[in-house]
Structure 1
Amino acid sequence: MTSMPDDIRKAIPPLGQNAAPENASTIRKLYAPLLEGLMKGVEMKLDIPYGDHERQKIDVYWKAGGSGKPVFVYIPGGGFVGGDKRSDPVFYGNVGGCVAREGMVGVVANYRLAPEAKWPLAAKDVESAVKWVKAHAAEFGGDPNKIVIMGHSAGAAHVATFLFDPDINGGDIVAGGMLSSGPYEVRKDESRDNVLAYFGSDTSQFDRRSPLNYVAKSKVPVAVSIAEYDPLHLITPGYDMARALTLRDGKGPRVRCFDGHNHFSTVASMGSKDDDFAKVAIEFIRTCTG
């Protein structure tokens, strides 16, 4: 059973299993009316710099009162060459507003893009953003020791690198990570220009630049999600990551395929009455942060 409204359920399959920008626009139009009133009582501070580059900025969402709150950091996608934390007045503020209304602090971060910024600079930006959050979390009522980070699509690739890469080891400074509909391995037959713009075209470096290869050396709790109508090249990596986590932990990981959803609708639904994805995210945050 799912809480997805019938009109959205019927609209998604004809869109196909792709991550085309026009599909993102369609999904946002479907979900925007369901998010009216989400920000009531939510405070926000936008475009806070965590570095010198114009892309190195974050938005913070919280409700007044209280302290020691869990902090949820969201890293959006965009195919390595695009994407933005506030692509319009609703998205992805809906992510920050959703967790703020659950008594948490929400953070949505931008990072530098390819081809200007190549591997591993986006993941290093994630690291810088998290370190800024740890240093300033208390200003918004957050606990610097209760940070859970999530990446979606290309953002999930950057978060995976942040969590697992041996030169960053970001899993040591957060309480948990969520990886949603992302690629975690650069394959030798990769030919997409946007992916090569970030990871480069030297196939001899692909193994080193694939965070999937370093999962076994980590301990951070990680949840993995995919959508039923994700592109195929973003479904199989989720199961590859789940396998690596299973081998690491010796038990089944938290892995979920969201029925009826496509590549964009999982995150777009956060804060709406279609709360299947949000419930899983919030429960994982609370499990990781006690």
Structure 2
Amino acid sequence: MIDAMTSIKREIARLGAVFDQDINARTRALYAPCVAASTHDLPLSPDVAYGDHPRQKMDVYGCLGARHAPVLLFVPGGGFVSGDKKIDEIFYGNIGRWFAQRGVLTFVMNYRLAPGFQWPAGGHDVRDAINWIHAHAQGLGGDPENLTLFGQSAGAAHVASYLFHPEVRKETLLATRAVLASGVYDLSVRPMPPGFALYYGEDESCYDSRGVLRHVGNADVPLLLSYSEFDPPFLAIPTLRLAEAIANQRGKMPKIVYLEGHNHVSNVLSFGSDDDSYGNEILAFINER
């Protein structure tokens, strides 16, 4: 008898290296039965505001009685024009619950969306959320000096903007380390992802300066980069180009995790299922000394 994870991986392979909203919905449907059992663990504090806009809110997942816990901020994807910290009763609370159950104070954030808010609004929202966390994490049992950023897809692009772009952060870096999953860091990638021009603008002459490849020398935090076997090429290749730029700058390669059997969203949907491999990679990275 084929187990659930093997069946899911076979279906993901059948869907192939493409990504759109239909693939997104079908992948969620594959994983939902596998993680639904953990949905009774609710956020410690839902909808905590880190800014004045209705989208500038976070859900907080923590362990009661924790002191000096490592802290993680998850920034979800959505193609710059959509996405949510709580897609439904399962996702992305599965990430908050998974890390909180393992002793990590976890924040899952929303941010402002294009076309109403263009570059660098997402990076600014990551910055403002981090500033809020740094000021308040200790009161929630966390250690603000041990903060990991985890961005996926558009969320990874926003985290990278915060880390590297001099027009976005403009202040002391408050992150200890960062996980960047299948983000667009090289704005010359083609075909252009949906929502790309709505966020970065129509003027392609600005793309080189708004990307992060030329700015990687502005932060030296440890990085874990990941991409998936069934990422479309335009969502996988930017990770390799970012790794190359960092290697040229630092003189050594960053950590890279190749997620065999995953597509563009199954990596983050898998938290709370029987497939803990990606979560365990990140947890080991958080606990490195």
The two structures have a TM-score, normalised by structure 2, of: 0.94
Give 1:61's aligned amino acid.
Y
Give 2:124's aligned amino acid.
K
Conserved 8 A contact 1:171-1:218: no
Give 1:114's aligned amino acid.
A
Aligned residue number for residue 89 of structure 2: 89
Alignment of structure 1 residues 29-108 onto 2, 5 Å: 29-39=29-39, 43-108=43-108
Match of 2:45, SS state, is strand
Instruction: Give the CA deviation at 1:41.
Output: 5.8
Aligned residue number for residue 185 of structure 1: 186
- How far, CA to CA, are the matches of 2:160 and 2:4 in structure 1? 29
Aligned residue number for residue 232 of structure 2: 231
Aligned residue number for residue 205 of structure 1: 206
Cα deviations by residue, 1:181-229 (Å, 9 ceiling, x for unpaired): 1100211866555101110111221111001211123211111000000
Cα 1:170–1:37 change in 2 (3 A) is: farther
Cα 1:281–1:171 change in 2 (3 A) is: farther
Aligned residue number for residue 241 of structure 1: 242
Q: Which has the larger displacement, 112-121 or 27-36?
A: 27-36
Conserved 8 A contact 2:163-2:218: no
Cα deviations by residue, 1:112-151 (Å, 9 ceiling, x for unpaired): 0000001001110110011111111122211111110011
Give 2:215's aligned amino acid.
Y
Conserved 8 A contact 1:42-1:62: no
**1:258 is aligned to 2:259:** yes
Instruction: Give the CA deviation at 1:53.
Output: 0.6
Match of 1:283, SS state, is helix
Cα deviations by residue, 1:52-73 (Å, 9 ceiling, x for unpaired): 1111000000111121000110
Give 1:26's aligned amino acid.
R
Match of 2:160, SS state, is helix
**1:6 is aligned to 2:2:** no
Match of 1:12, SS state, is helix
Runs of 4+ in 1 over 2 A off after TM superposition: 36-44, 188-193
- How far, CA to CA, are the matches of 1:189 and 1:14 in structure 2? 24
Instruction: Give the CA deviation at 1:271.
Output: 2.1
Conserved 8 A contact 2:225-2:256: yes
Q: Which has the larger displacement, 258-267 or 210-219?
A: 210-219
Aligned residue number for residue 270 of structure 2: 269
The two structures have a TM-score, normalised by structure 1, of: 0.93
- Structure 2: state its 5+ residue gaps: none
**1:215 is aligned to 2:216:** yes
User: Superposition RMSD on alpha carbons, in Å?
Assistant: 1.9
Match of 1:261, SS state, is strand
Instruction: Give the CA deviation at 1:248.
Output: 2.4
* Paired-residue identity, %: 38
